[in-house]
A and B are shown apart, each in its own frame.
Chain A
Amino acid sequence: MTISKSLNPGRRGGSMKRTRRWQTALHYLILAAVSLFFFLPVYYLIVGSFRPSSEVLSGISGFVPTNLSFDNYTGVFEHLSSEATGYFGQFAAVSIIVTTVVVAGSLVVNSMAAYSFARMQWRGKKVLFLLVIVLTIIPFEAVALPLYFMFSSQRDTVYIQAIPFIANAFSIFLFYTFFLDVPGEIEEAARLDGAGPLRTFFQVVVPITKPAFATVAILTFLAQWGSYLWPVLMVSDPTVRPLPLAISIFQNQQPPEWGQVLAFGTMFIVPVLAVFLIFQRWFVASISSSAVKG
């Protein structure tokens, strides 16, 4: 012992290295297990969508990719092929239109309000901004029912699915925190060039605060693409039914065709998943900046 300690100093380093390697191996093992928990349902959805319905619920072999075909996908389109059932393409179109309108609208409307609060001087501004901050804690759920009461005559329209979600107190707040950091000299320079507030905002401020716009776009998109409660209240006509409501009705069919349900789900999520895989960095950045101190 004493000899190895005094004469062989490298020995201790070696054992430390070995513990480190064990630690790393353990780390990988835990990572793999955790990843499996998060990925397995995704894998099950996608693989199951290519397998016969009878094999989707077949114990462990539900995970094995055998007998793959596009039958479930053609099945979904055959199943949804009348006015009464609605069409998949129609559901998707409603979701795409509503989400696009909400995302685009909220980028314009909320950023302008935030800019006004952050950089312009006007009477009543402070009180109104305080009100916006207070409004950030009201979740949509708290107003869903009275809102349905107010607009029940507009049921089964596309626009009523989008318009209530354009103005968003939290988005205003997010933009606000970004606009506070814009150096005043930039606006000053624009003013000296003869630009009015509108041009200053759109041509000078917007281009240098792109991350704010990406953040709000991503967060709004995720909330809107999965929006379920409002369509439950406002939509009964299949021609204006968005995807989340459509899948909840489709999975309820009797007898259940699980392969088709998974095919429906895959078509619902794969475009989003693809965008996520490409822009993962942006997704992560937008979520971490959503935690700016409230």
Chain B
Amino acid sequence: MTTQTQTQQIQATTVPARRRSAAGLSGHRFAGPLFASPALLGLAIFLVAPFVLALVLSFYRVQLNSPRPARFVGFEQYSRLFTDPDLAAAFGNALLNNFTFALIVVPVQTVLALALAVLVNRKLRGMVIFRTFIFMPLVFPLALTAVIWRLIYSRGDQGLLNAILGLFSGGSFTSHDWLGDPSTALGSIIVMSIWQSVSFQMIIVLAALQSVPTELYEAASLDRANKWAQFLNVTVPGIRNTLIFVALITTIFSFRLFDQVYLLSRSGSVDRASTETVMTQIINTGFDNNNVGQAAAMTVIFMLIITVIAIIQRAAARQRGGV
């Protein structure tokens, strides 16, 4: 509102209103680079430099604060990652966990985000309150989320989840160690992660839903398409690119998985082997064990995976209409 009125006021004073956006600043030749330089400097020091450094370090055997000088070892760090029996097994396992996590979370969370968006996109009395409840986890830091859910998953019949399941099954359900049991540990992490982040994706989908032109729905109902057919033929194609975007950020998020797992494994409340991720491995190797070169090689592989995902999904989005 204010934007419009201000624009009009200023336009009224400018006669004639010519379109000469940036040319007006030509008197200040260095203004452009000067405006951009603080941010560019920051990105160069804190993003580009460490990124390049990771590449360099991955070719060395190097430790932090070690009297021994760094030694160039070529591709040894990489080959060890895939051939050294101890390392390869652990790293392969971590990669597998990330892929499993992504394989489950990406479809589930994308569909859930869509379902929730459709659910709250109806004009019903009290909807504001329901939305507030659903959006709430959004502001929860992952460290806090992990602490709360650690209690919910707590083993023994006094744990909340166990107690609820016990109640609904009429006592036939015996208590389960959700985080400690290798078969349910990753699944438990998945549920808490979805709880925390699905509303983020849902809000993005909701905005897309509301931007699908209503005429398309009117045309569809003239064609006697029922609600489900309308959803499949109007809604889904209309928000296709948004769904791809959501799948993209969820995939990348799956590979960045760290906070919850690291916090829980530190307190010994989660099965390690089945929840270890590439990021927790990088931190364990480079930080806890001070094997910086090895961790740098893992970082480079991690980065490659992220890049490939980004390229694939961007290409998918471009195929039709383009994002």
Chain A residue numbers with a CB within 8 Å of B23 are 121
Expressed in whole angstroms, the minimum distance between the Cβ of B250 and any Cβ of chain A is 12
A133-150, CB under 8 A of B: which get 1 and which 0? 001011101111111111
CB-based contact A226/B141 at 8 Å: yes
| Whole-angstrom distance between the Cβ of B289 and the nearest chain A Cβ | 12
Q: A145-B287, A258-B151, A268-B144 are in contact. Are A152 and B65 (CB under 8 A)?
A: yes
Measured CB to CB, the nearest residue on chain B to A196 is B28
Which A-chain residue is minimally distant from B141 (CB atoms)?
A226
Q: Are B151 and A142 in contact (CB under 8 A)?
A: no
Rounded to whole Å, the gap between the CB of A156 and the closest CB of chain B is: 14
* Given A59-B160, A122-B32: A44 and B148 interface contact (C-beta under 8 Å): yes
A183 at the interface (CB under 8 A from B): yes
Complex Cα gap A280–B45 (Å): 35
Contact of A113 among B2, B39, B127 (CB under 8 A): B39
Given contacts A244-B143, A252-B267, contact A142 B25 (CB under 8 A): no
Q: Is the CB of B94 closer than 8 A to any CB of chain A?
A: no
Q: List 26 A-B contacts (CB under 8 A).
A: A35-B130, A37-B195, A38-B136, A41-B152, A112-B35, A119-B22, A121-B22, A122-B33, A138-B306, A145-B287, A145-B295, A149-B292, A167-B41, A185-B7, A185-B10, A187-B22, A188-B14, A188-B20, A196-B31, A204-B10, A229-B262, A233-B283, A247-B143, A265-B148, A269-B139, A294-B245
Contact of A276 among B139, B144, B263 (CB under 8 A): B139
The answer, yes or no, to whether A287 is at the interface (CB within 8 Å) is: yes
| B21→A208 contact, CB < 8 A | no
**Contact code string B270-290 (vs A, CB < 8 Å = 1, else 0):** 000000000100110011000
Contact partner of B302 among A132, A141, A167, CB < 8 A? A141
- A contact set with B: CB distance below 8 Å: 24, 27-28, 30-32, 34-35, 37-39, 41-42, 44-45, 48, 56-60, 62-63, 109-110, 112-113, 115-117, 119-122, 124-125, 128, 132, 135, 137-139, 141-150, 152, 163-169, 172, 183-192, 196-198, 200-201, 204, 207-208, 222, 225-226, 228-229, 232-233, 243-245, 247-248, 251-252, 258, 261-262, 265, 268-269, 272-273, 276-277, 280, 283-284, 287-291, 293-294
Interface readout for B33-49 with A: 1 if CB under 8 Å, 0 if not? 10110111111011111
B3→A62 contact, CB < 8 A: no
Beta-carbon contact of A57 and B138 below 8 Å:
no
Q: How far is the CB of B320 from chain A (nearest CB, A)?
A: 14
B284-312 CB mask vs A (1 if < 8 Å, else 0) is 00110000100110010011001100100
For A276, the chain B residues whose CB sits under 8 A away are 135-136, 138-139
Contact of B299 among A146, A204, A222 (CB under 8 A): A146
Decide: A222 and B36 in contact? CB cutoff 8 A: no
List, in ascending order, chain B residues with CB within 8 A of A56's CB. Answer: 151
B69 at interface by CB-CB < 8 Å: no
A139-B256, A164-B45, A228-B259 are known contacts; what are 7 more A-B pairs with Cβ within 8 Å?
Answer: A121-B26, A141-B302, A145-B286, A265-B144, A280-B132, A280-B135, A287-B200
For the complex formed, measure the closest distance between the CB of A219 and the CB atoms of chain B, giving whole angstroms: 10
Q: Which of B127, B146, B167, B258 contacts A60 (CB 8 A)?
A: B167
Complex: how many Å from CA A141 to CA B157?
37
What residues make up the interface of B, taking CB atoms closer than 8 Å to A? 2-3, 6-7, 10-11, 13-14, 17-26, 28-29, 31-33, 35-36, 38-43, 45-51, 53-54, 57, 64-65, 116, 119-120, 122, 124, 127, 130-152, 154, 156-160, 162-164, 166-167, 195, 199-200, 203-204, 206-208, 241-242, 245-246, 252, 256, 258-259, 262-263, 266-267, 279, 282-283, 286-287, 292, 295-296, 299, 302-303, 306-307, 310, 314, 323
Contact B14 A132 (CB under 8 A): no
Partner of B38, one of A113, A152, A184, A284: A113
Measured between beta carbons, the chain B residues less than 8 angstroms from A139 are 252, 256, 306
Partner of A135, one of B47, B136, B156, B295: B47
Residue of A whose beta carbon sits closest to that of B129: A35
Q: Is the CB of B203 within 8 A of A59?
A: no
Of the residues B133, B149, B323, contact of A38 by C-beta under 8 Å: B133
Complex alpha-carbon distance, A59 and B151, angstroms: 11
- Contact, CB under 8 Å: A150 / B207: no
Contact B119 A116 (CB under 8 A): no
Asked whether A232 lies within 8 Å of B119 as measured between CB atoms, the reply is no
Residues B286 and A58 in contact, CB atoms below 8 Å apart: no
| Contact assessment for B7 and A208 in the assembled complex, using a CB-CB cutoff below 8 Å | yes
Chain B residues, CB < 8 A from A144:
282-283
Contact for B245 among A121, A142, A143, A291, CB less than 8 A? A291
A187 interface neighbour in B25, B127, B159, B287, Cβ under 8 Å: B25
Chain B residues, Cβ within 8 Å of A150: 49-50, 53
Given contacts A57-B158, A59-B157, A146-B57, contact A232 B204 (CB under 8 A): no
The listed residue (B31, B35, B157, B296) touching A146 by CB distance below 8 A is B296
Nearest-neighbour CB distance to chain B for A218, whole angstroms, equals 10
The residues of B that contact A190 with a CB separation of less than 8 Å are 24
List, in ascending order, chain B residues with CB within 8 A of A41's CB.
137, 145, 148-149, 152, 195
C-alpha gap A273/B119 in the complex (Å): 23
Q: Which residues of A contact B53 (CB under 8 A)?
A: 146, 149-150
Q: Are B50 and A293 in contact (CB under 8 A)?
A: no
Contacts of B296 in A (CB 8 A): 145-146
A residues less than 8 Å from B119 (CB atoms): 27, 30-31, 34
